[in-house]
Structure 1
Amino acid sequence: MQFRSADTLVQETPALELQGVDGRKGGMIKLLGYVTAGVWQALSIVVLLGLMHGSANMVLVNLVMAAIFSGCAAFFAWRAKIVKALRQRDPDAPEMRRFVIVECVSGLAVLLLGLLLLAMATFRVFSEGFPVFG
């Protein structure tokens, strides 16, 4: 069995053509970032909706966590915009291919984490009738 380095694999791998509907490179990565940002913003909204069920002593914790989740959503939206701009600069560089692969994997991981947290928070607020934190 022959082992190859990561650089060799990246060079041999065809370029990822993650194009958007308009044909420009980087569209799918940008879409992934915006969907991720939307999921994290929805998580923030669910945390705020959970305040209807809470006691007065846990309001601050829920407000702080909702602000943190909104900050995460803003960061993911900003990152999507920056990644698309970087991708359009030099799309065929081997370093850019590695970067796109890492960005896709990390973007999907953060999206799945956000979906999991959103599902759990939604269950806590709407099924159990309790605030998310408290």
Structure 2
Amino acid sequence: MRKPLLLLTVINEDSCLINSTIREFFYKYHTDLRRRVALGQEYQGKKFQEQEMYGLIYDCKLERAARRKAIQTMGGTLYVPEGVVWIDFTGDYRENNLLAALQIGLDEQVKDEESSRKATTEKGSMVERSDEREIPGAKREALL
């Protein structure tokens, strides 16, 4: 029996820094990618092997902890805490639209072999090193 293809959960929503429009964008992007991976379809020129991905859980307390960690480490070596994804992309976004920029940035991550492998494997994560001390109750089920 297959896992359900849609699991959208927001926990600690009263603590969120990112507004619901952006969170919903991430949910939709992740759900579409998850569906394509489950069906072994192509996306952004990459053919995925048919497999299951975890659903997305958005933890607003984890979001705040990740922001604190990012602020502390700006200018130095950034060790991304487990359960946190750091999406880094640059470009000229003439549309002046954050969601269009996010679409481009996430698509670039999918095209990157290592990033897409980590994001689409059940036990994978898009983290380089683990540092959970400041991330209580980190969720490892949903990484993108």
TM-score normalised by length of structure 1:
0.29
Structure having the higher strand fraction is 2
Higher relative contact order (CA 8 A, sep 6+): 1
TM-score normalised by length of structure 2:
0.28
